[in-house]
Each structure stands twice: as structure tokens, then as C-alpha cells.
Amino acid sequence: MSKPQVFVTRKLTNEVIAMLETVADVKQWEEDTPVPREKLLEEIEHADAVLTMLTERVDEELLARAKKLRVVANMAVGYDNIDVPACKRRGIAVTNTPDVLTEATADLAFALLLATGRRVTEANRFLLAGEWTSWSPYLMAGQSVYGATLGIIGMGRIGEAVARRAAGFNMRILYHNRNRKEEAEAKTGARLVGLEELLQEADYVVLLTPLTAETKHLMGAYEFSLMKKSAVFVNVSRGETVDEAALHHALTTGQIWAAGLDVFAQEPVPLDHPLLALKNVVALPHIGSATIQTRNEMASLAAANIVAVLSGKEPLTAL
């Protein structure tokens, strides 16, 4: 009896492939670039399982070609690249990789907060360009972080981890969420408030919501108009949760002070994107969970979900 077939859409470690080979024959895209759509459409016809990244769209077109597919294991905490209802209608399990990336993503969110507030990358470019000629009282002066007010929009696992870090900086923590998080409140002193109150009071606003129909362009012209002129906006959720034209307007007209962005509506972001030209923007290439240890854990968890399903067991982290 032939083994099930697994297709992996990006080159992963030998250890992860070996895990999958305990239950299946494995093919993987050997390049560290997104698998071409045509190749994915071809491979899905024979696959019992597919290990995907955020760069792959698992949609009706793809699923219509999937004759044997039993599980889609997404190596990400998000899953906006997957048509989950369409998978479920076909009895295909969908899994993601929560928890294992929480701390790394929270680290990156706080790194962006610090780098943006204290103008770290701007000051680095200033020095390397040979513009530092003398000490000056307000040279590259930024915004204080210690003791400032932090507003977290989306108090999930990552939001709670960011709040724990903020508590170490003696920050006043406000959060906006669908549900109250009493344990996080007890640990960090965070307070649940309405979105408008959060935007009006926060010195730093960190956006951590998943991308849904309700959260698309959650941050738009009105929301930015509520923020302090000295406020910093940080996005480590998904690019489309923000109206980028409205953010650009807010930054160039002085409605807000600066922005730190790890995500964009179009990724990779075009080099001529207007936000990249602004000195008061710190931009990163979607590296929220990018530590070696975390990416290894994410890949292992995605593989473990596939092994479970192909072995007739329940997946570890089903949606």
C-alpha cells in the first residue's frame, strides 16, 4: 500500500522532513522563494497533506484540484491566506501554529515600539551618512517609553505578552478587545477601554488584531485623527488592517508622530511605496516571529499536525 503524499511549499529543515517521512512520502519546493502558483496547482492534485506559508493562497481554485487532500497545515498563527469554510465543507482539516511564536512576535513588537519612539534607525542612518558633526540638546530626540501610556488593540496571546513587557517599563496599559482579559489585567495592570478612548490617551498604539472582514482598515483616517500628535503607531498584525493612505496622511501632516511597521497590504512591499520614503517610519520585512528557534518550532508543529491527521488522529491545533 502506497504512503500518503505530502507537499511542503518551502524548503524546511531535514528534521522536519524526517518527521513527515514517518507517515508519508514528501516532496518540497527546494527554493527559499514562494512556490509558483502553477507548481502548487500541479502538486495539490496528488497531495494528501500540504504544509503552507502565508504566501500561498488556499482557495476554491486550488481546492477544486485537490482530489485527496486531508489537511492544510499553515506555518503561521494567521490563516487569512486560507479559505477555511471551503476547506471545512470538503472535510479538510486546517491547522495553524499558535503559541510557539507568541514571545518572539511580542519581542519584535516591542523592538519596533522602542526603535520608532527613540528614532533608532533614523539616528543610525544619520550617523552612517556622516551628518553627525556635534552634540546637540535635541539631536535625534525621540519620545519617552518608560512610564508612557501603551494602547494594545487586540489582546490575544501576543497582546498579553506585549503587555508583560510594557509592565517592565512601568507603562500605563490600555487595551481594546472583544473580551475582557482578567488574568492579563491582574498581571500587568492593563485596563479594558473603548477604541476611541484608547486612541485618544495612548502614547504608543500597537495593533495586534487578526485580519477579518471586520478588522480590514480598522485603522483609518478617523482613527488616526483621534491620536495624539506625539503618538507612535505600531503594526505587527496584517497590513490590510490599516488604511495605508490614511496612515501616510497622518504621518505627513503631523497628526501622529511616527509609525513602526512589520507588515504591509502588499508584500513584499514595493520600494516606491510612499510610506518607505518617510523618515518617521521604521519598516521591517514581516519578521515578527523570525527567530531561528521560533521558526523551527513553527515548522515542527505544522509537521506534527500533518502526522496526526495522516495517522488517523486529531490535529494538535485545528482551527
Q: Which residues are known to be catalytic? A: 238, 267, 286
- Contact in structure between 122 and 279 (CB atoms under 8 Å): yes
Sign of CA dihedral 189, 108, 233, 246: negative
Residue type, 26: V
For the record, the C-alpha cell of 162 comes out as 506585549
For residue 73, give the nearest of 47, 44, 90, 52 by alpha carbon.
52
